Amino acid sequence: MENTLTYAKEQDQNDSLRSFREKFHIPTHTNGDPLIYLCGNSLGLQPKSTASYLQQELDDWAALGVEGHTDAKHPWMPYHEFLTQAMADVVGAKPQEVVIMNTLTTNLHLMMVSFYRPTKARYKIVIESDAFPSDKYAVESQLRFHGIDPSDGLILWKPRQGEDLCRFEDLEAIMNEQGDAIALLMIGSTNYYTGQSFPLQKITELGHKHGCIVGFDLAHGVGNIVPNLHESGADFAVWCTYKYLNSGPGSLGGCFVHERHADNKELQRFAGWWGHNKHTRFNMRHEFDALPGAEGWQLSNPPILSMAAIRASLDLFAEAGIMNLREKSKRLTGYLEFLLNDLQDERISIITPTNPEERGCQLSIQVAETDKQMHAKLTGAGVISDWREPDVIRVAPAPLYNSFEDVYHFVTRLKNILRT
């Protein structure tokens, strides 16, 4: 690698996925220049095709009214099914194991209703210590709902003193010591703060070895890493679609339920009519008959406009190929790491793992002796990144629309700010 603009431009020229950048709206600075947008880990950019996908549904609604449920170009009744194959390909699942529905935390609660079934002897839940707050809140509230004090029922998988990353062997130690009392391992696949990506299959095998249910939050993993959910053997997983999947602010989430649970109608669940047998759903007089697979956890008929935006992005993922995107991501983030190290500034450290297999595209950059003013200066310099207290800038070059030149210019501007 070379720390030159010429090298960055050469890499972009040789990038087989470079044309996808033109398929996205890139925000611009007040002077009209494109911003360096490295914040897909918070909100992905809008595909240019999203407007036409939404407009089609608006046109069909205007022209057809309620008949759009059956007669729209993409009929609304089965609309979620148009997303299933592409979504399954992204997360490495069988189509029956995946459904787009609700939002992430709602789906997490629905999964815990079914898969967290505490007993007097086995009732504890393990999460990573710095899990995304919403996950921690959800897990704590489930414990309280079952009459369990979180101070007793919640186990935190922590980094060692003076370290930033969780070690798998420490999770093994937790399981060996308390496995008989643990009901659920609920781990974020990729930690939002450090960017550390956890070994999903190893965690699943460890949990199942001790008789535990295993679930994952893929909020920062979906569209970023390749989780291979079916092969991992996880019991369930949940995710959002507005980060790396570019579906728009607050858009719907997704859910995975492994096929071994597909026909288990004995599982407790909170039910709704959209999870009922499609053949008798509109009869309105039948007792609840859960659909097989992940669809059986649906509650309500889906919001079509949100799903149209998801379909626009998933079509781009299908065109690019998740494995191709992952390979570019490794090179792009590797170049970012190289340039940051080449700064040779003792104030800068990267807390994300150096092994590309243990991270996605995000690097979390710790800046000593600074505060949020550093981030404000970056924003003023035309860089959109993300600040996390107390001293971390999260930067995520997304392979669908970011370039090597983006990465080069980001580090150049960071260097200029550090000098001042």
Q: What is the pLDDT of residues 209-250, one digit of tens each?
A: 999 999 999 999 999 999 999 999 999 999 999 999 999 999
Q: What is the pLDDT of residues 92-111, one digit of tens each?
A: 999 999 999 999 999 999 99
The fraction of the chain above a pLDDT of 70, given in percent, is: 100
Q: What's the pLDDT at 369?
A: 82
Average pLDDT of the segment spanning 381-398? 94
d(CA 107, CA 255): 7
Q: What is the pLDDT of residues 114-146, one digit of tens each?
A: 999 999 999 999 999 999 999 999 999 999 999
d(CA 104, CA 95): 19
Neighbours of 134 (CB within 10 A): 16
**Residue type for position 88:** A
Q: Is 281 helix (H, G, I), strand (E, B) or coil?
A: helix
**Beta strands 363-367; 348-350: pairing state:** antiparallel
Q: What is the DSSP letter of 105?
A: H
Q: What's the pLDDT at 285?
A: 87
Neighbours of 232 (CB within 10 A): 24
Q: Is 347 helix (H, G, I), strand (E, B) or coil?
A: coil
Question: Between the CA atoms of 359, 361, 362 and 365, what dihedral angle is there, to the nearest 10 degrees?
Answer: 90
Q: What's the pLDDT at 153?
A: 98
| Mean pLDDT, the chain, whole residue set | 96
Structure tokens at 41: 């880990």
The fraction of the chain above a pLDDT of 90, given in percent, is: 94
d(CA 72, CA 94): 27
Structure tokens at 269: 């669940």
Considering the four listed CATH numbers 3.40.50.1440, 3.90.1150.10, 3.40.630.10, 1.10.10.10, the one that applies to the domain covering 5-47+323-419 is 3.90.1150.10
Give the residue extent of every domain in the chain: 5-47+323-419, 78-319
Q: What is the pLDDT of residues 155-202, one digit of tens each?
A: 999 999 999 999 999 999 999 999 999 999 999 999 999 999 999 999
E strands present in 69-177: 98-101, 124-128, 154-157
Q: Which residues of 93-127 are buried (b: 16+ CB within 10 A; e: fewer)?
A: bbbbbbbbbbbbbbbbbbbbbbbbebeeebbbbbb
Q: What is the CATH number of domain 78-319?
A: 3.40.640.10
Angle, in degrees to the nearest 10, between helices 322-342 and 5-13: 170
Burial class of residue 235 (count of CB atoms within 10 Å of its CB; 0-12, 13-18, 19+): buried
Is residue 371's pLDDT more than 90?
no
Q: What is the pLDDT of residues 331-359, one digit of tens each?
A: 999 999 999 999 999 999 999 999 999 99
Q: In what order do the strands lie in the sheet with 236-240?
A: 98-101, 253-257, 236-240, 213-217, 182-188, 124-128, 154-157
* Triad 4, 5, 10: Cα angle to 5°: 100
CA 219 to chain centre: 2
Q: What is the pLDDT of residues 247-274, one digit of tens each?
A: 999 999 999 999 999 999 889 999 999 9
Give the closest residue to 1 by CA, choosing from 418, 414, 411, 413.
Answer: 411
Is residue 6's pLDDT more than 90?
yes
Is the previous residue joined to 390 through a cis bond, with omega within 30 degrees of 0? Answer: yes
pTM, two decimal places: 0.96
Which residues, including other chains, have CB under 8 Å from residue 131's CB and lie 6 or more apart?
Answer: 187, 188, 191, 217
Q: How far, CA to CA in Å, does 371 sit from each of 37, 192, 389, 390?
A: 21, 19, 8, 7
Angle, in degrees to the nearest 10, between helices 322-342 and 404-419: 20
Q: What's the pLDDT at 372?
A: 86
Indicate the pLDDT class of residue 284, thresholds 50, 70 and 90.
Answer: confident
